[in-house]
Amino acid sequence: MGMMTKEEARQFKERWRAVNAITIEEARRKTVSERLYELEVLYDFGQALGWANRDDCSEVRARWNRLKEKVGV
């Protein structure tokens, strides 16, 4: 595979600019509930991998539960 031409580089950059614009728009349209759900999935994933010390998480868990109650998740 050879070097990329200036035109190919420009096209590549334009395609990623379009992808980023769509990604940003999708993020803006998400509801708070959707965002909290995604955050919860990440949190659960970290727990499953053992990345969290349960002794240090009690306050965070309490805040998380209060936030979920307020949003209705």
pLDDT digits (tens, 9 = 90+) for 24-51: 999 999 999 999 999 999 989 888 888 7
The residue segments making up the domain with residue 69 are 31-73
Q: Does residue 22 sit in the same domain as residue 49?
A: no
- pTM for the whole thing? 0.53
Q: Does residue 11 sit in the same domain as residue 38?
A: no
Q: How confident is the model at residue 10 (pLDDT cuts 50, 70, 90)?
A: very high
Number of domains into which the chain is organized? 2
pLDDT above 70 as % of the chain: 90
Residue 57 has pLDDT above 80, yes or no: no
DSSP string covering 36-58, please?
HHHHHHHHHHHHHTT-S-GGG-H
From CA 1, how far away is CA 73, in angstroms rounded?
50
Q: Does residue 13 sit in the same domain as residue 41?
A: no
Q: Does residue 24 sit in the same domain as residue 45?
A: no
* Residue 9 near residue 41, CB atoms below 8 Å: no
